Amino acid sequence: MLTLVVWVVVFGVLIAVHELGHFLVAKSFGMRVDEYSLGFGPHIFSHRFGQTEYSLRIIPLGGYVRLAGMDGERSSDPDEYANRPLWQRFLVIFAGPVMNLVLAFVLFTLLFGPVGVPVATTTIAHLIPHFPADAAGLKPGDRIVAIDGHRITSMQALTHAISRHAKQVMQITVVRHGQHLTLPVRTRWDKAQKAYLIGIQMATRAVHMGFLTSIKTGVVQTVQMTGGWFVQLFLLITGRTRFDLMGPVGIAVTIGQAAHQGWARLFMLAAVLSANLGLFNILPIPVLDGSKLALLAVEGVRRRAMDPNRENMIHLVGMAFLLLFVVFVTYHDIVHYLHLG
């Protein structure tokens, strides 16, 4: 139940912010916005304020902004989207993906500031049953201070020390109730993680940055994620990396796991999802914002707009292929998680 609630809230916020980008820029140019809606299907709530109807609908799987004149019907009304200059229409469409990147920056800033970034310590939080650490007598709350007499002060040092002891026994010194204990532990190869492990999960502590530092870090994280996304897209197109996409089921499971791990994990995941939603939307795929931007670019070159009926047909065909793609990745997710189970 928690997974479902968090999934609806996270995606509701991401979609609301995306559509808010279109809405605010259209309003700033004086375009008439007929409806700002979250969700699809029958109304749960609806209220008209000025020229715009604000709606909350029963199916929480998206949302939309309905701009006057964007459905292909032409009129002489200067406030309609279709009658506005090309650059204004371009910015209205582009504002949606940009707002998702802005939201990613805000979430990263909050994460590195008041929420706090979780940093692993050398204190054991949990032992995996039947793994070497559990069998050797280590306990939750033990603080690892040395391995083979070498001091351990960070998670990185601990991970490196364990990886160096492939199939070997190491002497782990811990502090338990103020006393030092040294226990022999042999590493074990784990097929799933493809690494030598002893079966421990470490406790974390929240690290908070100052206001200006958190803003700078938020910008850096957003820029790096954007650059990394385009690099991965290039590698995918050129066949240098494997196609691996998580669908709605996989995302829902991941959100549920993050919700159980705390606010920091949830903020991190929401920031990543927001950035990915914005970047995915600029791809020139029919129905997505990227296809509308591409058609506007073609209009700029041809110096005349595409026939509305032809444009609607392109988006209709694109919608059909997109729905088939969603069904495919959803099936892939279900098979994957059934296999894991």
Q: What percent of the chain has pLDDT over 70?
A: 92
Confidence of residue 178 (pLDDT cuts 50, 70, 90): very high
The answer to whether 14 touches 273, Cβ cutoff 8 Å, is yes
Confidence of residue 237 (pLDDT cuts 50, 70, 90): confident
> What span, in angstroms and rounded, lies between the C-alpha atoms of 310 and 290?
17
Q: What is the mean pLDDT of residues 153-172?
A: 88
Q: What is the pLDDT of residue 1?
A: 66
Q: What is the pLDDT of residue 247?
A: 64
Query: For residue 327, what are the CA distances in angstroms to 7, 67, 253, 277?
Result: 18, 29, 17, 18
Confidence of residue 333 (pLDDT cuts 50, 70, 90): low
> What span, in angstroms and rounded, lies between the C-alpha atoms of 167 and 190?
11
CA angle at residue 158 from 192 to 263, to 5 degrees? Answer: 70
Domain ranges of the chain: 2-116+220-340, 117-207
> What span, in angstroms and rounded, lies between the C-alpha atoms of 227 and 246?
20
> What is the per-residue pLDDT across 133-146, written as a single tens digit (0 to 9) for each?
999 999 999 999 99
Which CATH architecture describes the domain 117-207?
A: Roll (2.30)
The listed range with the strongest mean pLDDT (64-73, 159-168, 268-277) is 268-277
pTM of the predicted model, to two decimals? 0.80
Q: What is the mean pLDDT of residues 26-52?
A: 91
> Three-state DSSP class for 244?
coil
